[in-house]
Amino acid sequence: MASSTPPAPGSRDRLSDLPDFLLGHVLSFLPNKEAGRAAGLSRRWRDIFCNVHTISFAESQGERADDWSSDYYEAEEKKSGSAALLDDVCSALLCRRRTAGQHVPLRSLRFAFDSCHHWDFVHVDQWLSYVLRHSNQELHLDLRFQIGQICSRKDDEGHDEGREEGVVDSGTDNSDHEDECDKMSRLWTYVLPRRLFTCTVIRTLRVACCRLKLPTAVNLPLLETLSITAPHCDGGRSIQRLISSCPRLIDLTLEGIYRLKRVSVLDKRLRRFALRCCHNVKSVDIGASELRSLDYCGTVPAESLLSLHGLRGVPSCTVDFCIALSQEAEFTRFRGFMEKISDAKYLHLHNRSLESRFFLGFPSFSSLTRLVLQGPLDSCGIVVSVGRILEQTPNLEILSLYMEERVKDTEDQYGTMGEEYEDDVVEKEKDAESDDLFVAPYEFMVPDEASFSMPCLRHRMKEINMVHYVGDETQRMMARLLFRNALVLERMCVVLVKGTFELQSKLKNEIDSWVMADVEKTFL
């Protein structure tokens, strides 16, 4: 065995010989706190942090959740609950000034408050003033003032009618409403500085849970990526004016904008467009000649909602629905929407809100080579639905199933894959003579291996991934049908949930027995 030899006396540290700006660029790919620790390596590294071009700090979701229930708001001296985040960002900015003796331009500023309160606004003003004043090449901003769910429909099967019925039409000027918004903004909502919208070096702008309040003139000639999430009191006209002021825009995300009614992006060369939970939008017109990715989340859109000009299909699509679909009209709109994107080569479909019957008329995706299905796999009907999708994807090569947890407490039901289920597995192993161990609920018949003998499985499928594999009856049925029919499979990956070593070994051996091809296997 070769032993490591210590460096020879007087050997050069070639890494430290690199110029400061290059060392700073390398450290920019580390979390800021780890990059700051590099100052302790040697005297040579003491001032390198001032050349780190990215400052990024974030709170975790729910970190400020207990503030209202404590004596925090009754204290005479108001101190921010986000003191750690404020100190981190302020220290990083001050360190650059002290160590360099001059203002080194930043390329990227990212921060995320779990909940930003009005006494934090003065600090954010100082940060943005510093960054905008000393940026001279390119600037990427990611400013999140709240973390959490922005769509109430994902929490409830019904939707928040009151919230949407009270929305003011984006095409109507309402001075009383604007005055009320101004008062609320000053108290509880951060208003972005007007100088930000005339900073000509901004390349990326992502903002969440704040107010834009655009100035009369907006000038963002280099902006390529724009993401707006849950703006406060900003109407559709303001959003449209901001979009129109970005001539080089290629990536647009609109999320949780309840006052948005219409969007038109016909004069841009968009490559990616995402529309999430903008439930009052009536029409979207996109110049899609170069569009490569479409991300939609909301209710089932009407046929007239999305108009793609210059391109029949989009190569990559992600589709999610906020509420469970059940009505006949929704079924018709669902099929029409899926036909509109049927030329996709990659499809990520969230199926948690879709009844199994919605896949009866699933359109043909003849160009699809990669499919991701995300949602609970908890009934025979879902297994049948996956089979129907595979019948319509003859050229599919990669299938990934992200099996979300049930609503029930999985630890109680399976006990970290616990004792009751382990006994159930042992009992069923004794009955190995019959493969039909599952009872079909409702009107669905239990699919057999012959019914899953689709052309894509037998002749095209090269990779299958299953994530959050508990090993219950339905998941075992799905795994058995897939792996026994995938004759040309090259790679497979199954991510097991946490459990005992003995039970995980049993599940692994069971899956191994179903795999018919000589494949590269990964169990995590």
Shared domain check, 248 and 346 = no
Is residue 198 located within the same domain as residue 277? Answer: yes
What phi, psi does 323 have (nearest 5°)?
Answer: -130, 160
pLDDT score, position 392: 87
332 and 304 part of one domain: no
pLDDT value for 273: 92
- CA 224 vs. chain centroid, Å, equals 19
Looking at the domain assignment, is residue 357 inside a domain?
yes
pLDDT at residue 228 in the model: 93
Do 463 and 374 belong to one domain?
Answer: yes
Burial class of residue 519 in the structure, from the number of CB atoms within 10 Å of its CB (0-12 exposed, 13-18 middle, 19+ buried) = middle
Q: How many domains does the chain have?
A: 2
Instruction: Give the range of the structural domain holding residue 285, as residue numbers without chain letter.
Output: 191-312
**Are residues 392 and 244 located together in one domain of the fold?**
no
Collapsing DSSP to helix, strand or coil, 522 comes out as strand
312, 338, 356 - which closes a domain: 312
159 in Cβ contact with 323 (< 8 Å): yes
CA angle in degrees (0–180, nearest 5) for 208-211-214:
120
Coil, helix or strand for 339? Answer: helix
Using the 3D structure, point to which of 283, 312, 341 is the last residue of a domain.
312
* CA-only gyration radius of the chain, Å: 27
- Quick check: 193 and 125 in contact, CB under 8 A? yes
372 and 361 in a common domain: yes
Q: Are residues 290 and 350 in the same domain?
A: no
CA distance 223 to 218: 12
Judge if 498 and 395 occupy the same domain. Answer: yes
Kindly state whether residue 413 falls inside one of the protein's structural domains.
Answer: no
- Are 224 and 300 within one domain? yes
- Within this chain, do residues 325 and 345 fall inside the same structural domain, yes or no? yes
Asked, for residue 118, whether it belongs to a domain, the answer is no
Measured CA to CA in angstroms, residue 497 lies from 384, 417, 492, 512 at distances of 24, 8, 17, 17
Does a structural domain hold residue 131? no
Q: Which residues contact 262 (CB under 8 A, 6 or more apart)?
A: 170, 171, 236, 240, 281, 282, 283, 284
Same domain for 300 and 339?
Answer: no
Instruction: Please check whether residues 372 and 456 belong to one and the same domain.
Output: yes
Q: Supply 167's token pair.
A: 């929305």
Query: Is 358 inside any structural domain?
Result: yes
Residues 6+ apart with CB under 8 A from 204: 108, 139, 140, 141, 142, 223, 224, 225
Q: Which candidate, 469, 387, 369, 473, places its Cα nearest to that of 427? A: 473
Last residue of one domain, picked from the residues 254, 289, 312: 312
pLDDT at 398: 92
Here the CATH number for the domain that contains residue 367 is 3.80.10.10
pLDDT at 429: 43
Residue showing tokens 């299958």: 464
Q: Which pLDDT tens digits describe the chain residue by residue (524 residues)?
A: 444 555 555 556 677 777 777 877 777 777 777 777 777 777 777 777 777 778 888 888 876 666 655 555 555 555 677 788 888 888 888 877 766 566 677 888 999 888 888 888 889 999 999 888 888 788 999 999 988 777 766 544 444 333 333 333 334 444 455 555 555 555 678 899 999 999 999 999 999 999 998 899 899 999 999 999 989 887 888 899 999 999 999 999 999 888 888 888 888 888 999 999 888 888 888 888 888 999 998 888 877 788 888 766 788 999 888 876 666 667 778 888 888 888 889 999 887 777 666 677 778 888 899 999 988 887 788 888 888 888 888 999 999 999 887 554 433 333 333 333 444 444 444 444 334 333 334 455 667 677 778 888 888 889 999 999 888 888 888 888 888 888 888 898 998 888 788 888 888 888 888 887 777 777 77
By CB atoms closer than 10 A (0-12, 13-18, 19+), residue 244 is: middle
pLDDT of 7 reads 56
Q: What are phi and psi of 468, to 5 degrees?
A: 65, 60
| Residue 90 one-letter amino acid | C
Residue 314 CA to residue 272 CA, distance in Å, equals 10
Burial 53-68 (b: 16+ CB within 10 A, else e): bbbbbbbeeebbeeee
Q: Is residue 477 part of a domain?
A: yes
- Which tokens sit at 47? 């001032």
Asked if residue 485 belongs to a domain, the reply is: yes
Other residues' Cβ atoms within 10 Å of the Cβ of residue 357:
14
How confident is the model at residue 416, as a pLDDT?
A: 37
Residues 6+ positions from 143 with CB-CB distance below 8 Å:
109, 110, 111, 124, 192, 206, 207, 208, 210
Does residue 374 form part of some domain? yes
